Amino acid sequence: MAELKKILVPDIGNFKGVNVIEVFVKAGDTIRAEDALITLETDKAAMDVPSPYSGVIKEMKIKAGDKVSQGSVILLLESSDAAPTMQPVAVAPVLPPSPQPSSARGEGGTPAQALPVPATASTATKAHASPAIRRFARELGVDLAQVRGSGEKGRVTKDDVQNFVKAALAQPRDATGSGLRIAEMPVVDFAQFGVVETRPLSRIQKLSGANLHRNWVSIPHVTQFDEADITEMEAFRKQLGEEYAQQGIKITPLAFLLKAVMEALQHFPDFNASLDAGGENLILKKYCHIGVAVDTPDGLMVPVLRDVDCKGIVQLAKELGEISARARDKKLSAADMQGGCFTISSLGGIGGTAFTPIINAPEVAILGVSRSCMKPVYRNGEFVPRLMLPLALSYDHRVIDGASAAHFTVYLSQILADIRRLAL
Ligand code: CAO
């Protein structure tokens, strides 16, 4: 049967009017026997007072800053425990110890047996904190010496330990887990400058944003620029486009690019690869799945076209139309976006002359394509009008060096300039 019990300050030796420096519980809390309730501190040592019973706290009778002696009521506890448990009291030195060679002194330089309870080995550290806080810090793996104490005499409180952990978790991490120590972004109240409206980011924006941020800060990016002469390719594409329009297949430059990139990946296998988790090995892929960045009303999605090496340009154009429509209709499955070896991001349908795409890790390179444009190209002693396609290859410099990247774009440009090479 549960009954209301008074929990009293136990025998603390001859000390009277001892400071309550920390209260760990509050009314309404359910506690177990031996949970720490309060920490008392004399000028010699701090000690935790544990609960002799388990139960629910009905009322607190003291608060931090009060002074208590043996027999003072700490709280009222509703408990059905018949007998109290033993009352071990853990002790810690009050102040950081100064080195003391004398064996006559207890651990941490505190006079031994200052209180009639045993000090444990774990209390002999330099930080100023109660035994319960030391245990709490130990459970979280926190080195108390690194925590700045906000309590009286610089004592470390539970809040200090929690804030230390929160701050550590909030630190940006790089791929190796070390903090990047980036300066904090200022918090600006834009409303002070004019009218504003707050719109939450979409789920896709939040997800892709986190991945883009990770890739941007953890991969050493370099972007190689080039131009491909697609005058002949474009003439052929237009011809094909008319033929396949009746079948509802739209043949855009991207279908040719998929095929040409596949050919370049086979020629330069290091681009069709990923670093393993330890960053020690390159995993070379014998398949060729290529992701395509698709702009949707909710944000960027990257569905993957499978086995590009086994498909023709018309088939790729058909699948590209289908998969980008599915992306825009939010009908892509997680599997549709997995397994890519390389990504193409084409802004050619929109415009622009160049951009630097972010690598879609764990891939090691991405091709950005901008809008083709007629340009005067100097050939055989004269300027001739040629349709030039701007290419931007961002690559992971841990895996690919600049010369390889230039070879890759030159090779890709040669194929696009004469797509008969795809048949070789
Ligand atoms: N140069 C000139 N014209 C181009 C071109 C290029 N590089 N690429 C495409 N075009 C033309 C097409 O031929 C088509 O012309 P017509 O309508 O006259 O036939 C028009 O531009 C529109 O093409 P499209 O966008 O419908 O088709 P696509 O195959 O080029 O692209 C897709 C498909 C899904 C990639 C595209 O719609 C898209 O979403 N692009 C945005 C990708 C993106 O946001 N990337 C950025 C990622 S980083 O934030």
Domains and CATH numbers, the chain: 3-93 (2.40.50.100), 114-170 (4.10.320.10), 204-423 (3.30.559.10)
CB 23 within 8 A of CB 64: yes
pLDDT of 271 strictly over 70: yes
392 Cβ below 6 A of ligand 1: no
254 Cβ below 6 A of ligand 1: yes
* DSSP state letters, 95-154: SPPPP---TTB-GGGPBTTSSSSPPPGGG-SSS-B-HHHHHHHHHHT--GGGSPP-SGGG
Query: Given the CA of residue 350, which atom of ligand 1 is nearest to it?
Result: 21
Residue nearest to atom 15 of ligand 1 (CA): 349
Query: Ligand 1 pocket: which of 346, 350, 355, 367 to mutate (most atoms <8 Å of CB)?
Result: 346
What is the separation of C-alpha 147 from the centre of its chain, rounded to a whole number of angstroms?
A: 24
- Which is higher by pLDDT, 234 or 124? 234
- Residues 6 or more apart whose CB falls under 8 angstroms from that of 146 comprise 164
47-65 pLDDT, tens per residue?
A: 888 899 999 999 999 998 8
66 Cβ below 6 A of ligand 1: no
405 Cβ below 6 A of ligand 1: no
pLDDT score, position 336: 94
pLDDT of 33 strictly over 50: yes
% of the chain residues with pLDDT over 90: 62
358 Cβ below 6 A of ligand 1: no
Residue nearest to atom 8 of ligand 1 (CA): 348
323 Cβ below 6 A of ligand 1: no
What is the distance in A from the centroid of ligand 1 to the CA of 400? 28
343 Cβ below 6 A of ligand 1: no
What is the distance in A from the centroid of ligand 1 to the CA of 23? 64
> How far, in Å, CA of 252 to CA of 145, rounded?
63
113-171 pLDDT, tens per residue?
A: 222 232 233 333 456 788 788 888 888 888 888 888 888 778 888 888 998 888 887 76
pLDDT of 363 strictly over 60: yes
pLDDT score, position 108: 33
DSSP state of 81: -
Mean pLDDT for 328-350 is: 95
% of the chain residues with pLDDT over 70: 87
What is the distance in A from the centroid of ligand 1 to the CA of 295? 10
Mean pLDDT for 33-38 is: 88
Q: Does residue 289 carry a catalytic annotation?
A: no
**Where is average pLDDT lowest: 97-106, 119-128, 148-157, 202-211?**
97-106
pLDDT score, position 100: 34
pLDDT of 189 strictly over 80: yes
Mean pLDDT for 162-191 is: 76
Cα-flanking dihedrals φ and ψ of residue 126, to 5°?
A: -80, -25
Which tokens is 63 given? Answer: 């608060």
* DSSP state letters, 334-365: TGGGS--SEEEEE-TTT--S---PPP-TTSSE
Mean pLDDT for 203-217 is: 93
What is the distance in A from the centroid of ligand 1 to the CA of 355? 15
What is the distance in A from the centroid of ligand 1 to the CA of 303? 15
Catalytic residue among 213, 221, 289, 397: 397
SS3 308: helix
Mean pLDDT for 198-218 is: 93
The count of residues in the chain is 424
pLDDT score, position 89: 57
What is the distance in A from the centroid of ligand 1 to the CA of 370? 9
Most confident of 46-55, 68-77, 136-145, 380-389: 380-389
SS3 413: helix
369 Cβ below 6 A of ligand 1: yes
Name 378's bridge partners. 383
Nearest 10 degrees: CA dihedral of 373, 374, 379, 381?
Answer: -140
- Which is higher by pLDDT, 265 or 88? 265
**Where is average pLDDT lowest: 100-109, 144-153, 373-382?**
100-109
326 Cβ below 6 A of ligand 1: no
Burial class (CB in 10 A: 0-12, 13-18, 19+), 96: middle
Cis peptide before 362 (omega within 30 of 0): yes
